[in-house]
Structure 1
Amino acid sequence: MNLIIQATHTIPANILNKLAGLTLSTRTEQIGTHTFRFCNARPQDDVSSVCFEHQLDYGYVDARLSLSDFGLVVMDMDSTLINIECIDEIADMQGLKPQVSAITEAAMRGELDFSQSLTRRVALLEGLDESALQRVYDERLRLNPGAEVMLAELKKHGIKTLLVSGGFTFFTDRLRQRLGLDFAHSNTLEIIDGKLTGKVLGKIVDAQGKADWLNHVREEFELHPQQVVAIGDGANDLKMMAEAATSIAYHAKPVVRAQASFALNFVGLDGVLPLLGH
């Protein structure tokens, strides 16, 4: 196994030496500005505490692994691919962000049923002008750091991408076109006469819906679960992540970090690539 260490800052030499000694690594390679590979590393419990103390992300990766081993990367949108929870920012246009954000947080921690929580939140948006959606997209939505680097490498290696979200098609469709994603699936807000009705059209894309779409695309391309990566941050991503052999918790809730193959708590989305053997 190789140990991958990543940071957003310069890692002191004494910390690198400490990690090499802890894991009995045979060689240390710098593979990025703040990214290191410790070859033939032995897993040690102390690595976790050292990394937490110094704000380092880490993961043990099969030395034989490469990006070409993967065929599909599935990712959540809100607070994963992008920096915001879109529904919270839409609610801000109604002066209701605190109320909606509280429901969102509880749902992401797994304390509320996602479908019920979404129905409650969307109902609060009734009467809002649809132009608010464009304002959120233009003024507040930003890609998370490293997103474009990650997507460019995935595309270069012929890996399919699926954006699947409990959010809304207004945003996922625009991101799919803008970023050249292969697939996107999410919920559709009902809009009549230029106003949000407070309802979602059709079946809500919840945790099971995300998992179903992952499997639908995987089967379409005749891929094995071992060839699939799922990236998410909230409790409604857990079923989707369980369907992929490799799951990555990105700046995620504790319940998600605990169940994922890897957790990225500090670095950007480009930190996904070294965990996939790149």
Structure 2
Amino acid sequence: MTMKLILQGPGADMATLNRLAALAAPAGTRELSRHALRCDSVQADAATRQAVEAAALAARIDATFIASATTLADFGLLAMDMDSTLITIECIDEIADMQGLKPQVAAITEAAMRGEIGFADSLRRRVALLAGLSADALQRVYEERLQLSPGAETLLAAVKAANIQTLLVSGGFTFFTDHLRARLGLDYSNANTLEIVDGKLTGHVAGAIVDAEAKRDTVKLVCDELAIHPSQAIVMGDGANDLQMMSIAGLSVAFRAKPVVRQQADVALNFSGLDGLLHVLA
């Protein structure tokens, strides 16, 4: 199988990209932008890949080896995690900050994303700490702290232009996925519902928890509805609870992800924005 190598990074210069490209002995190269280079018919043996990836990491450049023929047109669904993927924050950590409990909640979040604590248990523990908080805190987090990750809108525009459906599937909360779905014109979403009584959070999640298995099953269900195979889905995530849905996808993308996720993903975007995926599939 003929492989291409995509080298890219927001601060990359073409001289550095060409130096890295030479390690893979490409048959030819093409500039995709001022900060991205496509290398065709590269050597892709284990030793070469390791050398390129190590040098690229040291230079803060993303290096992706992928089948040359793979393009955006091969896919029918883009499924994305929300917290720390589509958006830059972990919403529950910011909600907890309204209670003065961000360090405690963030520590549990980090352990869960590294795969050290089961996600469902970690979510229950974190949500319990929010009991009694005014539901107005959710709107404050959305308005004051939530920001899209770099390249999000560019990626979504290109995906929509290619008639690819979009799914936001999150272990976070429907308050935020519903707002983002409407704001960004996303096609599908699934997340957890915070229980609210008399305008205050109860410290409980209403209904079943959207954990790793539920995320995977959501991707499968949407693929079934679209009459496509999961191999025609791109799945993007950053934490351990994304691995199951990433494992069934045709292309898995780790975005600013934990090591356990980067190691298992087809594509790792450590420095580029979400729109770096467009260069990978160019």
TM superposition score category, shorter chain reference = over 0.9
Unaligned 5+ segments in structure 2 are: none
The amino acid across from 1:27 in the alignment is: G
Deviation (angstroms), 1:12: 4.8
Stretches of 4+ aligned residues off by more than 4 angstroms:
none
How far apart, CA to CA, are the structure 2 residues paired with 1:257 and 1:26?
Answer: 28
Deviation sequence 1:181-229 (CA, Å, 0-9, x none):
0001000001111111111000000000000000000111111222111
How far apart, CA to CA, are the structure 1 residues paired with 2:87 and 2:17?
Answer: 31
Deviation (angstroms), 1:37: 0.2
Q: What residue in structure 2 maps to residue 260 of structure 1?
A: 265
Deviation sequence 1:141-173 (CA, Å, 0-9, x none):
000000000000000000011000000000000
Identical positions, percent: 57
Conserved in 1, the CA contact under 8 Å of 2:254 and 2:267? yes
How far apart, CA to CA, are the structure 2 residues paired with 1:16 and 1:90?
Answer: 41
How far apart, CA to CA, are the structure 2 residues paired with 1:220 and 1:268?
Answer: 29
So what's the TM-score if we normalise by structure 2?
A: 0.96
How far apart, CA to CA, are the structure 2 residues paired with 1:134 and 1:172?
Answer: 12
After TM superposition, the structure 1 = structure 2 runs for residues 109-128 of structure 1, keeping only pairs within 5 Å, are 109-128=114-133
Q: What residue in structure 1 maps to residue 95 of structure 2?
A: 90
SS at match of 2:216: helix
Q: What residue in structure 2 maps to residue 48 of structure 1?
A: 53
Determine whether 1:249 maps to 2:250.
no
Deviation sequence 1:99-154 (CA, Å, 0-9, x none):
10010000000000110110011011011001000000000000000000000000
- Match of residue 106, structure 2, among 79, 86, 101: 101
Determine whether 1:269 maps to 2:274.
yes
Deviation (angstroms), 1:19: 2.7
Determine whether 1:11 maps to 2:13.
yes
So what's the TM-score if we normalise by structure 1?
A: 0.97
After TM superposition, the structure 1 = structure 2 runs for residues 146-225 of structure 1, keeping only pairs within 5 Å, are 146-225=151-230
Q: What residue in structure 2 maps to residue 64 of structure 1?
A: 69
Report the number of matched residues.
276
Judged with a 3 Å threshold, the aligned counterparts in structure 2 of structure 1 residues 33 and 17 are, in CA distance, closer, same or farther, namely closer
The amino acid across from 2:182 in the alignment is: Q
CA RMSD of aligned residues (A): 1.0
How far apart, CA to CA, are the structure 2 residues paired with 1:154 and 1:269?
Answer: 12
The amino acid across from 1:113 in the alignment is: G
